[in-house]
Amino acid sequence: MESPRFHQLPPEADMTDVHALLIAAFAYMEGRIDPPSSLTRMTPASFSEAAKAGELWVAGTPPLACMVLTPQTDTLYLGKMAIAPSHRGSGLARRMIAHALERAKALGLPSLTLQTRIELVENQKAFTALGFTETGRTAHAGYPSPTSITYSLDV
């Protein structure tokens, strides 16, 4: 299987395929995480806004993988990372993280940060295997205990 190339989508791009990819890729979380993913409130227009605020990268046409990179004061935040179920295990996650690290370096940011849910232990194992270390835990509004784990990776 040939590795798809990464390209950045501009805010004016049609984000329908990106939204569909995320819906398919995040389906396994349904009923497992509480509160539900913010994706349930997002539309293709939400991803145009994300592309304006940061960078939206995809691999393949139509997209087989995507991620939103948002520069923050001291880190590059990686959000809404998704890989099509048909391409999981193909090395795309490792390539996406490498690309995100390159972008952080190019932007002069010292680290890459992401979050995953407490319930998604397979994601925790995957991010740890990719070199990330846990840097914190946070709770969504109204929840008395942590619902998310923050991971960081130095550039």
Decide: helix, strand or coil at residue 40: helix
Q: Which domain holds residue 19?
A: 6-154
What is the amino acid identity at position 11? P
What pTM value is reported for the model?
A: 0.94
146 burial via Cβ count (<10 Å: 0-12, 13-18, 19+)? middle
Side chain identity, residue 24: A
Residues 9, 70: contact at Cβ < 8 Å? Answer: no
Task: Tell whether 108 is covered by a domain.
Answer: yes
pLDDT tens-digit readout, 76-117: 999 999 999 999 888 999 999 999 999 999 999 999 999 999
- Does residue 1 sit within a domain? no
Other CB atoms within 10 A of residue 123 CB: 18
With residue 48 as reference, give the H or E element that holds it.
helix 44-53
Residue at token pair 């991803």: 47
**Beta strands per DSSP E along 11-64:** 55-59
Reported as a single tens digit per residue, the pLDDT across 42-73 is: 999 999 999 999 999 999 989 999 999 999 99
Of 108, 106, 97, the C-alpha closest to 132 is: 97
Structure-block tokens of residue 88: 């999981």
Total of domains in the chain: 1
The type of residue at 140 is H
Structure tokens at 113: 């940060």
CATH number at residue 35: 3.40.630.30
55 occurs within a structural domain: yes
Region 24-35 average pLDDT: 95
